[in-house]
Amino acid sequence: MHAALVIAGKDLRQRLRDRSALVLGLVAPLGVAALMSLAFNGTANFHLTMGVVDADHGPVASGLVAALRGPGLRAIVSVRVLHSTGTARHDVSAGSVDAALVIPAGFSASVEGARPKALTTVTSVNNTVAGAITASVAASFVAQLNADRLSVATALAAGAPALRRAELEALAARARIPESVRQRPVGARQLKVISYYAPGMAIFFLLFTVSFTARSFFVDRTQGMIERMRAAPVRPAEIILGKALSVFVYGLVSLAVIALVTSLAFGADWGDPVAAGVLCVALVLAVVSVTAFVIGVARTQRQAEGVSSIVVFGLALLGGNFVFLATAPSVMRRLALLTPNGWALRGFTDLATLGGGLGTVVEPVVAIVVFSVVVGGLGVILAPRAVTG
């Protein structure tokens, strides 16, 4: 065990002297997580400028414009009055407005007829979100109009005097569709972007430890360092254990520092510290097992770099480090459960939204440990042969 500790200390000192290791372990994860948080946080503060062409100037059209300027939409919609459909198309193309809504002439009068005129939306392929919101607002208003028309027609069919039509229309205009859809988050708290990408980027750059350690092992073997260790004498298992300990300490410190900095500086929520710590330990053990497997499979430094690159980017892409797994296709969500980083991200997401302690991360930790045992077992079988050449 003493020899393994000495080897681990040597590797850690080398890593601390290597600026690239510090960049990959601390600077890069923090920088990328902050940038991705800033990029995606814009969707939470969405606001659009909607152009409105009122060619009708009737009471129904005025009601629509008033609804667009009402308190319910004021937080996300700013209305800009435009004079013609041509102006609307020009302004949408130029980006002066995000989308436009055209109310045709005679729209108010046509509402009482059998064939009411249609509203027209002017959108751009460069801003599909604004177009979807504009279309949704128009569809909601039309649905309310159709409900009003249906209620008046039902009352007249039931025997209400036709002379009271204007009164019925006024009453219907004050009514609102009773059924509505409200969005409620499943968890106790809403997931912030930084709370997903902080652990996501920390895990992604932690995976590069696999490549760094495997490369350094074969550099040591090429330079005769491994042979000198064996002549000490140091058993192959102690050499592998020393390498594993250096990966474990480096990975755990990296995750802890990133969690602390992103929590204090960016407001990331890593959940209960004890549960998050257990999840981090399980994840680092998985990285150690993958490192041992890569060292055992490769025979040269170049092979180690190639195999580790495939493993690192394969795990990152399948595990969802770059995309929200909740919005990914179902196939990708299932594939993510084959990776330790996919389970870890699931655990951190549950801690940030559902809360709770160790009970929240039992399933992810068990899954990561099973992965570590299987892959680490292969590494234990294969890695000693790499030491002996």
Which DSSP string corresponds to 140-177?
A: HHHHHHHHHHHHHHHHHHTT--GGGHHHHHHHHHH---
> DSSP letter at 23?
I
* Entry pTM: 0.66
Q: Which domains, ranges and CATH numbers included, belong to the chain?
A: 2-41+191-388 (no CATH), 48-174 (3.40.1710)
pLDDT at 344: 95
At 58-72, the pLDDT tens digits run 887 888 888 888 877
**Residue 172: its pLDDT value, please?**
53
- Specify the amino acid at residue 158: A
Angle, CA of 261, 264 and 268, to the nearest 5°: 85
How far apart CA 372 and CA 378 sit, in angstroms, is 10
Provide the pLDDT for residue 315.
93
Q: Give the pLDDT confidence score for residue 177 in this predicted structure.
A: 46
**Residues in the chain with pLDDT values less than 70:** 1, 36-46, 112-114, 148-149, 152, 162-188, 387-389
Nearest to 225 by CA among 66, 116, 387: 387
| Structure token digits, residue 59 | 């009471």
Q: What pLDDT, on a 0 to 100 scale, did the predictor assign at position 372?
A: 94
pLDDT of residue 139: 85
Contacts of 87 (CB under 8 A, 6+ apart): 51, 53
Alpha helices by DSSP H, listed for the chain, are 2-17, 19-22, 28-41, 59-68, 85-94, 107-110, 128-157, 165-174, 193-222, 225-230, 236-266, 273-297, 301-319, 330-336, 340-353, 362-388
Check residue 179 and give its pLDDT: 46
The helix or strand, by DSSP H or E, that contains position 361, with its residue range, turns out to be: none
| Predicted local distance difference test score (pLDDT) of residue 36 | 67
Q: Which two tokens stand for residue 383?
A: 């890695």
Going by C-alpha positions, the residue among 209, 203, 196, 247 that lies closest to residue 341 is: 203
